[in-house]
Amino acid sequence: MASLLCQKTMTLTLVSTFLVALFGVLYCEAELERFEHGAKPDGSLSFLVIGDWGRRGDYNQSDVALQMGIIGEKLDIDFIISTGDNFYDKGLTGVDDPAFHESFSDVYTAPSLQKQWYIVLGNHDYRGNVEAQLSPILTEKDSRWLCLRNFILNAGPEMAEFIFVDTTPFVDKYFTDPEDQVYDWRGISPRKHYLKNVLEEVESALRESTAKWKIVVGHHTIKSASTHGNTYELNVHLLPILEAYGVDLYINGHDHCLEHISSNSSPIQFLTSGGGSKAWRGDINWWNPQEMKFYYDGQGFMSVQMTQTELDVIFYDVFGNVLHKWSTSKQLFSVM
């Protein structure tokens, strides 16, 4: 009997080991899903960026949406990027939550905004039913909706590559000190393996990219002078990868402001577009004035226009006024 029990135990152990190994292989080999979005016939591309917006039109969300529609038509935008915190305060309760229509479909109604939305999750989205936001059922309800944890967007023939990163699971305090909030961590566990896989896939995508412009989008800040400030975990784990592979822009939300930081220690431009609804008036911490190119503690959004050689960023307030412009250029062909 003892021998039989021993054999069964060994068999179960071997099966368990095999399943763990198989899971690990499958996990590591998972690649980020890729999407394609063509440029205009002249080879240019334009899009808007909005973050921290989902409040059923309140806190000037509807006013920001109105101006987005006007600017979107003027620039003939190709798509919209959302930097997360899509539904306050606690995400969606499910795919039938009326907040989806009340905060998204019924707010961004302008003809120019009836384009594809590429969307990442924010920390407030994790306080609700994350699987609902990721569900294709929402895309059936509104075809503009495309939300995944991590994915890649290739825009134009090798012109721009966007890597969308799910930053919330990187932040330790949501796990160690959740402030009486309940987070939906389905699909994240085991966290260590999830983060390792994300970083490996981001690095692999950047290393293999031949795009002229490399842009990374996440919810959390890497550098910011507002309430949340720098996100330590992203500075430690993600930033070195972005710098090593020549990322041009890191675009985020999380802090409810509009912001442009150009660090002396990094070639990356750090752009915050988190003014989609409720803003934090007067909430700014000291920052090196040589690095702080722009800060606005009100509502608004951002536009980006690009070609193979030129890139222009503009920030707008809730009235559609231009607050800040920044441009850069690259040679069409690299100098040998």
Residues 260-297: tens digit of each pLDDT: 999 878 889 999 999 999 998 888 888 999 999 999 99
Binding residue numbers for Fe cation: 52, 85, 88, 123, 219, 254, 256
Q: Annotated catalytic sites, by residue?
A: 228
- Return the amino acid letter for 95: V
CA distances for 258 relative to 73, 213, 272, angstroms: 21, 22, 5
Q: pLDDT tens, 43-86?
A: 999 999 999 999 999 999 999 999 999 999 999 999 999 999 99
pTM above 0.85, yes or no: yes
Binding residue numbers: 52, 85, 88, 123, 219, 254, 256
Q: How far apart are the first and last CA of the chain?
A: 75
pLDDT at 129 over 80: yes
